[in-house]
Amino acid sequence: VISVLSFAQQLVRSKVREGDTVVDATLGNGNDALFLAELVGPRGRVAGFDVQATAVEASRSRLMEAGVAERCALMLCGHERLAEVLATKGFGEVAAVMFNLGYLPGSDEAIITKVDSTLAALEQAVSALRRDGLVSIIVYPGHPGGSDEADAVESWAAGLATEAYQVMSYRPLNRLAAAPYGIFVCKR
């Protein structure tokens, strides 16, 4: 079986090449950041965002231990500032942006992604994509506020122009409606 998280990574892997620029929009413990840093290799660049200092620090240690921290710029700031930060760092077009929404398991459940900032960040993420680039979003309808956020992301994604983007979802159909699922936007 292929979990939602691993499906997202497989899709990202199929789009990203060595030397690319990519973004982890929700660092958390840095799982996706590490995955991305290994994927882009020493000539690639990873920008990472989180609003929690503990998440940024945990991710930084993880990347340092793996010897890949130099290619990563970790920002203690919200992903709704993605466009501004990428421009300041001189990052150009990106091959992939990963969002893993909700809260960080084992930390403060009140620090959670929110509809307005998520949609603002998603809009900036698709604008930053190069051709054939991918925005991967994992949503969690199971926690308070999570289903509103999942619905908002889904409506936003469904409204993207067909000529410009392919929009797909990877969702378990024989589990509770609250189970996490993936939404993927690929720029044509």
Ligand X SMILES: C[S@@+](CC[C@H](N)C(=O)[O-])C[C@H]1O[C@@H](n2cnc3c(N)ncnc32)[C@H](O)[C@@H]1O
List of residues contacting ligand X (CB under 6 A) = 26, 28-32, 49-52, 55, 78-80, 100, 102-104, 111-113, 117
The answer to whether residues 55 and 75 touch, using CB atoms and an 8 Å cutoff, is no
Q: Which residue lies nearer to ligand X by CB, 31 or 171?
A: 31
Q: Which residue lies nearer to ligand X by CB, 45 or 79?
A: 79
The answer to whether residues 42 and 71 touch, using CB atoms and an 8 Å cutoff, is yes
Q: How far is the CB of 8 from ligand X (least distance, A)?
A: 10
Q: How far is the CB of 164 from ligand X (least distance, A)?
A: 25
Q: How far is the CB of 121 from ligand X (least distance, A)?
A: 7
The answer to whether residues 103 and 83 touch, using CB atoms and an 8 Å cutoff, is no
Type and span of the H or E element at 33: helix 31-40
| Token pair listed for 48 | 């990472």
The answer to whether residues 117 and 155 touch, using CB atoms and an 8 Å cutoff, is no
Q: Which residue lies nearer to ligand X by CB, 29 or 132?
A: 29
